Structures are given as structure tokens and as C-alpha cells.
Structure 1
């Protein structure tokens, strides 16, 4: 950021800017986080960007006038960095979250999933409790003002819900990324061998942990008995997608997604009860199209309330939350909530992959979730 730009967006003297350091400068950082942070220059400033590719780090950091580097340790040692965002490949998340907590940063944002298994999640929880550093997981829909408004107004809906649906129809991420920004070093796309059952299983597991996981914390909000989960049917959808039906003793859960050449993206979430229903239309995250619109309906439809659209989406919302946590004006989420969200997602992903069989329609099976 230039000195002139910095002066134009300077924070009040009693609320200095929080410095942001980002580990990983790939498409999510470039197309989502940097545009969101650009709208929050009165509270947050990108000061350090790290990527294992020095050219990528330098190119992306130059866009915001930040320090560039290839060393995580250098970023964590940088006194100008108050808040760390972890946008690296999944397998590095746990160790990097723990390192950021031990470095004494004020708050940590980690892209989902924040851990790959329950053991990693427990380690993160212990270190967060030990250091007092709050952690936010980047499930952006939980920070969307449309969702939050619905949550504040839905009354007894969670207790009466019997059916929950997440339905996603999107073009491939690359198309959104191209709309949003000039991406540096896009990974080469391959052609999966869908005649290989292991490829199908990997695609299904990846679909749950990479796409469905955005809505699974919302699903769990309406699923009090999530520890007793049964997979009814699984289908792999080409070129990339899934159709998964599950149930608990009191709920039916439907997860649907397809990424293809569609011209009109659609992302909806529904929770349907005996006397009330919630319908949410989420915007595609990459195009920075504002908040979700939530509709609450009761009875025969005569009582309908709509919330949104609001001026920002869930990605901006999570950064606002992170700034509040760093300043101590917001309360950190309970570690057990993050662990329960993760174990719920892992259980569905593992059971979905295990259920993939002949014709890619799985037999019913139990999904083990440890409360």
C-alpha cells in the first residue's frame, strides 16, 4: 500500500491498524482474501505474504505493498504481523496453526479444514487454550450476515427441522478466479481416471472436504443428534460433484453439488420443519457479490420474512470477526465447536468414500462421529 493510500485509510488513534500476514499466496488469497481486505483498510492491513514460490510471493505482495518471502518463520517473527491467515495446502494447516499460536499472534484464521484428523484437532485445541490465541476456521457462510440475521430470528426452527439440504451448482473455480483477478501460477488441470474406484472415492471425499464443508457447520446447527449418522446413498457426479443422502434418528440430510459449464451459479441451503422453513441463497464467493439472502417462512406461507442482501459477504464477515477477536471485543468460538464441526465433516467424508461402490451408489452404512 502506498503512503498516500495508507493515510487515507488510517485507523483512529485509539484503534491502530492490525497487520495481516498470509501463509500461501494461491488463488484463494489472490481472488478472495485480498479483495475482502481491500474493503477493510480502516481496520486491517496486509503486511507480509509468504509462499514457497518466491516469484508468486513477490508478485502478490507487490499488489498490496507488503513484505514478500518464502519463510514461515520470518513471517511469524515479523512484529508488524498481528493476525495470521493460513491459506496453504490442507496437510500443512495443523502445524502452521500451532506455530502461529506459539508465535504470540493475536488471532489466527485457517482455511478449512483446519486439521486432517481428530488427533491434529485436539493438538490445535490444546495449544489455543494454552496460548490464549483465538482461532477462526474459514467456513465463510457461518459469518455471512444473511445467515446471522436468520439465526437471530428463526426462533424454535432448529427444534422442529426434519430435512436439511445443501445444493450447489457452480462452474469450476478457475472461471470465478479469472473473473475476480489475474491469477499467478494456476495449477495444471488433469483428467481424472473415473474408471478407477479409488479415484472415485478420492473425488467424493474431496468433494465433501472441499465443497460441502462450507455448509456442514450450518447443517450441524440443525442436527443435535449428529453423533448417530447413517449414510443412505452416495453418487459421484461428473465432471465433479456428489449426491449424498444421510439421516440421523430425527433428521434427513441431503448434500448435492455439481461443478460444470453452467452459466448461472446457484448455492442454496434449506432447513425444513413442520411449521417453519429456512431458505438461503448464497452468492458465489469468488465474485464478491455481497451477502446471502435468507427467507424464513411459517405456517402456510403468510408469515414470510426476508433478510438481506447486506453489503458484505461471509469472507469479509470472517475478517471482521478476526479483527474483533484480535482486539478482544469479540468472544472466541469454543474449541469444542470447531472440533465437532471437523469430526462431523470427516465422518461424512469417510463414510461417503467408503460407500462408493458399483455404479457409485453406496450401500447404507454408519458414519462414526466421536462426540
Structure 2
């Protein structure tokens, strides 16, 4: 383990929002990093949930962001609240003088909000990480270091996700408290279809969109060619970004054979990465780079992208390492928003069908 993690006492972590992601993903990840990070404060608007979850890790609990931000034991804040609160909470954390902030995706809902966050981060010097965990996965990082000229020759990208519904993972991972049941939806209603497409892109596809953008220099002009929902939850979206064809597919159903595969295919080389599902703490992704009849296999390594996020946060809070640039975070968000907006705009309000060829500029 590097010396930066061994120096000094563990850094204190405060978490805004004690829902399933906190309970089944972040707390188990942090439990493996107690030499560098210590959970000290859990906030949730539901006092029973806050107390129960905090009790698992011996942390303080509260029901207000202000109380958590005033806690001198909290060095790093993780924002795991509903997305509509993210921008204001990120800014409040920066203004409170915390050492680093992790915000679950999306960290803003408009480009203007993202620019405002960037300005406050620059003003206060507080680094921000957005929870696109695959960008911190050792399998992805190893592939990035080894793929040579692949980004310049890629013509096709695929992100394919087949998962059980999140509660199935959550029930295996921990005793979830405070879960909010999903409302019943009429999947023939055009407005419901639009909401499902928007949610699919901004809630699930967004995990891989920073990876997609690594291979799409002309991302600013996105043309969505086809978009439809899959039952009971999922999507099929085909698009182009410049000269690159992109396929985004996801299905969440009753399967227990989870699969999360990212592919980037070029003229003379190709990358395939098999990611572990978010709720499965089973090490990193495994990557394959095929070139000239040879296959380079990278990984799996000992930890996944969520643990990688926290390791990076510890570095940044100790004043070492380089945070993602504000430009990168803003462009990642604009890319996701442009795809979601274009997909939604394809839905015909008259009968809920999907038309073709709608273009949106990011």
C-alpha cells in the first residue's frame, strides 16, 4: 500500500443519504479501507434510517446537512441523496471547507448547474469526484494504459447491461432499511416512456458514458437514431457521435446471470471489459485487448471502482493526486444530458412509438 495511505490517522467520512447505495455499496467498500478512512457521520431525513445505519458503523447520525457539515470529524463528504439535491449540496460542502467531495451521479441536472459547481470548487480549492465508478476501476485503468492508438481508430462502441433489479442485490448484500417502493407505471403512456428513457440514461447508462466519451472526440453533436424501453426496465438506444456508432442496451429482469460488458471496436484492435455488477464486491473488471491476433488480458484486480473512488478521495483529501478536471466532469454530464434529451424527444406523444433521426447539440 502506498505511503500516502499509511501517513496519519484515518480521514473522517460523512455521508448525506443513508439509502440502499450507502448501505449496500459504500459502507462495505469503506469497511475494507479502515486504515485510511473512517465513517463518522451519517445523515438521512428519516431519523430511524439515519440512526440504524449509523449504528452499524459506530458513527454519529443526524437529519440535517448543516449538522453533518458542522461536524469537525468529517473531512470527506459523500453525497448519496436524491439527484435534485446534488448541486446545492456539493456547493455547500465546498463552502464548508471539507477536504474532498464525492457526489453520486449525476452531480448536476443542467450544464449551468455544473458550471456553478466548477466555479465554487475552483474558488474553494475543494476537489470533487463524481461517482462514475468504472472510471476508477483498476481493470479500466490498466486497459487505458495499454490500449495505445485504439481511441483514434474506434468506429463502434457497445455498452450492454443485463442485471437483476437492484433490490435483489441489496437484499443479499445487507439488511436494507428505509427502502422506498417503486411506483406502478403504465409503460404504454408516452410520458412514462419518456421518464423511463430519461431515467435509464441518467441512472444506468451514465455509468459507462465517461468511458464512451473517451473514444468519441466529436461528442458535442449527438444523433440518436433509435430509442425504446425494455420491460420491466431497460432501454435500447442507438446513436452516433461524429464517426462513431454507439449502442447502449440494458435490461433489468429476473435473471441471476448478471452481465456488464463494455466494448470499443477499431479497425485493427478492440477492447472488451467485463465489469462486476455494482452491488457485487468481487474485485475489479477484467479487460481484453485484441490486436494482430494476440489478446492481452488485464485483471481482475483486488478491488472494484467503488473502492477505487474512495482510495482516490483519500489521496485528494491528503493533498496528493490529481482530481478529474472540471472540464471533464462538465463534458461528461453534457454528453449524458444530450443523449437523454435526444432519446426522449424521439417519443411520439400520439402513440408512444419511437421515431428516428433526432439530433441534439450538447
Give the TM-score normalised by structure 1. Answer: 0.95
Distance of 1:359 and 1:131 partners within structure 2: 47
1:315 paired with 2:306, answer yes
1:277-317 CA-to-partner distances (Å, cap 9, x unmatched) read 00000001112111000000012xx2110111100000000
Q: Is the 8 A contact 1:235 1:243 kept in 2?
A: yes
Write the distance in 1 (CA, Å) between the matches of 2:133 and 2:325: 17
Partner of residue 3, structure 1: none
Residues 1:354 and 1:12: Cα distance change in structure 2 (over 3 Å): closer
Give the superposition deviation at 1:190.
2.2
Shift of 1:268: 0.2
Deviations 1:1-24 (A, max 9, x none): xxxxxxxxxx98842210000000
Q: How many residue pairs align between the two structures? A: 357
TM-superposed CA distance for 1:363, in Å, is 1.5
Superposition pairs of residues 301-340 of structure 1, within 5 angstroms: 302-340=293-331
Helix, strand or coil at the partner of 1:363: coil
- 1:361 is matched with which residue? 354
* 2:75 alignment partner in structure 1: 82
Q: Contact between 2:228 and 2:237, CA under 8 Å: does it hold in 1?
A: yes
Matches within 5 A, 1:66-81: 66-81=59-74
Q: Secondary structure at the match of 1:360?
A: coil
- Is the partner of 1:115 in helix, strand or coil? coil
- The answer to whether the 8 Å contact 1:209/1:346 transfers is yes
Shift of 1:320: 0.3
Partner of 1:92: 85
**Within-5 A mapping of 1:1-371:** 14-299=7-292, 302-357=293-348, 358=351, 360-369=353-362
Q: Is the 8 A contact 1:114 1:137 kept in 2?
A: yes
> Would the alpha carbon gap of residues 350 and 234 (structure 1) be closer, same or farther in structure 2, given more than 3 Å must change?
same
Q: Aligned with 1:287: secondary structure?
A: coil
Asked if the contact 1:235–1:362 (Cα under 8 Å) also holds between the matched residues in 2, the reply is no
Task: Specify whether residues 337 and 12 from structure 1 end up closer, same or farther in structure 2 by C-alpha distance, changes over 3 A only.
Answer: closer
CA drift of 1:171 comes to: 0.6
- 1:13-63 CA deviation, whole Å, 9 max, x = no partner? 842210000000000000000000000000000000000000000000000
Does structure 1 conserve the Cα–Cα contact (< 8 Å) formed by 2:222 and 2:239?
Answer: yes
1:73-97: per-residue Cα shift (whole Å, max 9, x none)?
1100110000000000000000000
Find the aligned partners of 1:31 and 1:12 in 2 and give their Cα distance.
24
Other structure's SS at 1:63 match: helix
Quote the Cα distance in structure 2 between the aligned partners of 1:105 and 1:235.
42
Task: Give the distance between the partners of 2:326 and 2:182, measured in 1 at CA.
Answer: 36
Work out whether residues 234 and 360 of structure 1, in 8 Å CA contact, stay in contact via their aligned partners in 2: no
1:250: Cα distance to partner?
1.1
Give structure 1 stretches of 5+ with no counterpart. Answer: 1-10
- Change beyond 3 A, Cα 1:251–1:49: same
TM-score by length of 2: 0.97
